[in-house]
Amino acid sequence: MTTIPFAQRTYSRSKGQQDTFGDFTCLHCGRLVQSHELLSGVRNRNHCPHCLSSRHLDLYAAGDRLAACKGRMQPVALTLKHDGNKYRRNSGELMLVHICDECGKLSINRIAADDDNERILRVFAASQRLDPDTQAALTHAGITPLEAWQKELVQRRLWGGR
């Protein structure tokens, strides 16, 4: 990742910056992705629900569309979004961690209601055998991937139950 030597300008929501940029065709699996909030349960549909791939489009803030990289972002791991409750173990929302194939940018994204749960579980399984570079990048970014012993937690978050 290169450091951008340009001043970050005040983010102001204008007509060009919206929560959703409409339906799109996944560049990786080629399937049409509906971005409507009613289907996905999220306002920012930022990855394909079928193959879970994303694209590196944002630079500073979600929706700013300032990144010129536009590389494919692969799901590499799952993590928990801290909810601020330090007394509750394993609390927080289950999140997908994406990494850009081109420049290595990491991003943490919400899992949507229509995401393929089986595939999320496969990402979790694969994340137990991360290559050292990705592992180092996650550590450097302060992201703690979920580990094998947390599988039950992942399943509970995906399919419900106690």
> Which positions touch another protein (CB under 8 A)?
2-7, 9-10, 12, 16, 59, 65-70, 102-103
Nearer to another protein, 72 or 151 (CB): 72
Residue 84 carries which DSSP code?
Answer: S
Given a contact cutoff of 8 angstroms between Cβ atoms, the answer to whether 71 and 56 are in contact is: yes
Residue 115: closest CA among 153, 75, 73, 83? 75
Cα 78 from Cα 109, distance rounded (Å): 10
Work out how close the CB of 2 gets to another protein at its nearest, in angstroms, rounded to a whole number.
5
Name the residue nearer to another protein (CB basis): 1 or 32.
Answer: 1
Nearer to another protein, 55 or 157 (CB): 55
Least distance to another protein from the beta carbon of 8, Å?
Answer: 8
The partner residues of 81 in beta bridges, in order of sequence, read: 93
* Least distance (Å) between residue 59 CB and another protein: 6
Torsion 143-129-45-79 (CA) sign = negative
Decide whether 68 or 148 has the Cβ nearer to another protein: 68
